[in-house]
Structure 1
Amino acid sequence: MSTFSDHPHRRYNPLQGEWVLVSPHRAKRPWQGQVEDADVPEMPAHDPDCYLCARNTRINGKKNPDYSHTFVFDNDFAALTEDAPQESFRDGLLMAEGESGLCRVICFSPRHDLTLARMEVSDIARVVDTWVEQYVELGARPDIGHVQIFENRGAMMGCSNPHPHGQIWASRNLPNAAERETQTQTAYFEQHGTPLLMAYLKQEQALGERILFENDGFVVLVPYWAVWPFETMVLPKRHIRSMEEMTASERTDLAEALSHITIRYDNLFSTSFPYSMGFHQRPTDGKDHDEWVMHAHFYPPLLRSATVKKFMVGFELLGTPQRDLTPEQAADRLRALSDTHYLAG
């Protein structure tokens, strides 16, 4: 690895079956990005104009309940609908087919001014419980083959409302990323008789250089093949295929792991750190899928400061994703940060 830490190389992502170009020598150029405290907007605990706050009326005229913890509702502007016609079209290379499903919004807290990074672990655990309930409920439907739980945080990631919330898109068919991960994990499991991500975690634990946090149930690490500058994964320590297999203590462990990494993200540039985060877990098509290991991906765009983000352009769009900061360097920077949120106290 000494040569790879100083010279251009590419790393293989066994989950997606693709490569990423790493150019660590570029990180040695003078650091030109600003590193300063970002302005923190003052937000009220309750915003009367927010369509996600308790007791407020949404755009469709429905009134939110006076909820005290989490609140789930069908997305008023859903990308998937249950009544989409199941038609198909094929003409040579031209193909299309109807895709049905449903989309839901999960409010993490009635507090408008919070994020996961500023919530108590016990309150994040309630969010985890809600994710589990939704996965089980939606996954039991015969017309749903995949349940995607995710959060877009921050305007930089296209989030239209600062209220702490995430989404669920449940679809009949597997999305591209889930289909690729099913294929790669199946191939590895059939060849080696053990789940790919359990074997990978064992390697990472032996090396230790990319691990950021671990408790009894989960590990947070920077993946060896990370694309985004401060990309991370959250992995269970035992073979858990999907959320409903977690014990009560593992749900709390997951909440603690999420709290840890989101606090570190905020502390990196003293800002409410933007990211897209989501859970990948076994499809809900009725099969066992013993090859699957539930995990979460964090894809944050910031690279040099709170206001400068990484863009996937040029060679990265037309050729291969590329990064300057090595995953090991990113792990070192994240590990060096405080466990206490920079706004605390």
Structure 2
Amino acid sequence: MEDTEFDPSTHPHRRLNPLTNEHVLVSPHRTKRPWLGQVEPPQTTKLPEFDPDCYLCPGNTRAGGKQTDKYESTFAFENDFAAVLPPPGPAAPPSPHPLLATEPVQGGCDVICFHPRHDLTLARLAIPDIRKVINEWVRIYLLRGRQEGINYVQIFENKGAMMGCSNPHPHGQAWSLSVVPSLPATEIKNLKNYASTTITDPSSSAPRGPHGRPCLLCEYVHFEVSVEHESGRVVAKNDHWVALVPWWAIWPFEILLLPYKRHISNIASLTTEEKDAFAQIMSIVTKRYDNLFSCSFAYSLGIHQRPTPRAEGTSEDQDDDDEDISHLHLHFDPPLLRSASVRKFLVGFELMAEPQRDLTPEQAAQRLRSCSEVHYLDAIPSSEEK
């Protein structure tokens, strides 16, 4: 074998995701392979401002028969077809075998309409309107989190038909559960393990977690920001938040969005200034996604944070709950790979062995950085295009 120096942009290798303790296989040499597989239909970009048949538009009747309020701003309501039901629920029957255990789950599900207009996604909303969405996320997180038996509030958005979104009206959901779901629970477990086993350099300027313990995400994002121009994984940054394609990204243009100036466990602990910066960077990220392939870019977005919110008025340093080791962050997992019509599938090797990607995270970040922060539908056409 020829003795060559390892090049991560050329040679196959594995990368470890410390949040899940799982690997992803990176095969950058495969980006040149031809594609003869499935091609997605064009994404609809022209929607009406109001759709009389949309059950999420103001004043319309929903599928379950209830009428949606004639709302004029961000609006939330209980899902008419909730995945979990309110407590109390029946006890689980005796298990017929130790391998066949049943765990009852109770809770509630909310639908969050981002805006009354049917045609305005997050990428098309004004920053003050995104700020209203963030306020609603905070309200639901606190309200549901204080309900008896609720231990986790999972806020998410599925954007685009290829991500399973059944209604194009811009909206998200919040599922509040009596259990901490598997993925957030795994992340919290690894965050705790890192905090209890890692000895950090006392001279490090990275933010610390509760009680001065090291925080995995604080240290990771501090490193990424400090070597921003060398690593090439940072996509966007403002005074409080950074969006980056993580070292361990699985999806082609996956983004991890998180605060980097201090350890923040949940959205209710954000200051007014941090919420404003949150809205600004959400606008930048979603616009760059749309601009990448000049389409309404599909993704699944999820917020991971502290399982249960603290009572109002309690400062972080007063709360010694171990769950405060959680570091607030958002996952953007988009499926598009080569264009608006070619998507990434997690099949075959990914299902049977481990996740795999072709485009390196650094290459993906570079492509996203090169996208304008002005939405392509708002861009002024050149004289040649007129």
Q: TM (normalized to structure 1)? A: 0.95
Contact persistence 2:336–2:342 (CA under 8 A)? yes
Residue 336 (structure 2) pairs with residue 302 (structure 1): yes
Alignment of 1:252-263 (within 5 A): 252-263=276-287
- Of the three residues 116, 120, 143, the one matched with 2:126 is 120
* Aligned-partner residue type, residue 65 of structure 2: G
Contact persistence 1:88–1:98 (CA under 8 A)? no
Q: Match of 1:71?
A: 75
Change (3 A) 1:294 1:88: farther
Q: Match of 1:205?
A: 225
Q: Match of 1:13?
A: 17
Q: Match of 2:204?
A: none
Listed as ranges, the gaps of 5+ residues in structure 2 are 199-212, 311-320, 380-386
Contact persistence 2:45–2:295 (CA under 8 A)? no
Contact persistence 1:88–1:97 (CA under 8 A)? no
Change (3 A) 1:236 1:39: closer
Q: CA deviation at 1:142?
A: 2.6
* Aligned-partner residue type, residue 157 of structure 1: M
Q: Match of 2:90?
A: 85
Residue 147 (structure 2) pairs with residue 145 (structure 1): no
Q: Match of 2:266?
A: 242
CA distance in structure 1 between the aligned counterparts of 2:224 and 2:351, rounded to whole angstroms: 29
- Of the three residues 181, 202, 223, the one matched with 2:246 is 223
Residue aligned with 1:259, SS: helix
CA distance in structure 2 between the aligned counterparts of 1:11 and 1:39, rounded to whole angstroms: 32
Q: CA deviation at 1:190?
A: 1.3
- Of the three residues 105, 108, 112, the one matched with 1:102 is 108
Residue aligned with 2:25, SS: strand
Residue 222 (structure 2) pairs with residue 188 (structure 1): no
Q: CA deviation at 1:191?
A: 2.0
1:219-270 deviations in whole A, cap 9, x for unaligned? 0000000000000010102111001100111111111111111111111111
* Aligned-partner residue type, residue 181 of structure 1: E
Contact persistence 2:142–2:309 (CA under 8 A)? no
Residue 296 (structure 2) pairs with residue 272 (structure 1): yes
Residue aligned with 2:258, SS: strand
Change (3 A) 1:62 1:129: same
* Aligned-partner residue type, residue 251 of structure 2: W
Residue 339 (structure 2) pairs with residue 315 (structure 1): no
Residue aligned with 1:268, SS: helix
Change (3 A) 1:33 1:253: farther
Residue 367 (structure 2) pairs with residue 333 (structure 1): yes
1:107-129 deviations in whole A, cap 9, x for unaligned? 00000011000000110000000
Residue aligned with 2:101, SS: strand
Residue 150 (structure 2) pairs with residue 130 (structure 1): no
Contact persistence 1:282–1:294 (CA under 8 A)? yes
Contact persistence 1:194–1:291 (CA under 8 A)? no
CA distance in structure 2 between the aligned counterparts of 1:231 and 1:299, rounded to whole angstroms: 5
* Aligned-partner residue type, residue 59 of structure 1: A
Residue 378 (structure 2) pairs with residue 344 (structure 1): yes
Contact persistence 1:22–1:324 (CA under 8 A)? yes
Contact persistence 1:38–1:270 (CA under 8 A)? no
Contact persistence 2:335–2:343 (CA under 8 A)? yes
* Aligned-partner residue type, residue 48 of structure 1: P
Residue aligned with 2:102, SS: strand
Contact persistence 1:212–1:335 (CA under 8 A)? yes
1:192-223 deviations in whole A, cap 9, x for unaligned? 32111000001111221101111111100000
CA distance in structure 1 between the aligned counterparts of 2:134 and 2:6, rounded to whole angstroms: 40
Change (3 A) 1:20 1:88: farther
1:66-97 deviations in whole A, cap 9, x for unaligned? 21111110001100001432325432211112
CA distance in structure 1 between the aligned counterparts of 2:23 and 2:373, rounded to whole angstroms: 33
Contact persistence 2:268–2:309 (CA under 8 A)? no
Higher strand share: 1
Change (3 A) 1:89 1:20: farther
CA distance in structure 2 between the aligned counterparts of 1:32 and 1:215, rounded to whole angstroms: 40
CA distance in structure 2 between the aligned counterparts of 1:38 and 1:99, rounded to whole angstroms: 39
Greater radius of gyration (CA): 2
Structure 1 stretch displaced more, 294-303 or 53-62: 53-62
Change (3 A) 1:312 1:33: closer
Figure out how many residues of one structure are paired with residues of the other and give that number: 344
CA distance in structure 2 between the aligned counterparts of 1:134 and 1:282, rounded to whole angstroms: 14
Contact persistence 1:269–1:306 (CA under 8 A)? yes
Identity of aligned residues (%): 52
Q: CA deviation at 1:307?
A: 1.1
Listed as ranges, the gaps of 5+ residues in structure 1 are none
CA distance in structure 2 between the aligned counterparts of 1:39 and 1:80, rounded to whole angstroms: 31
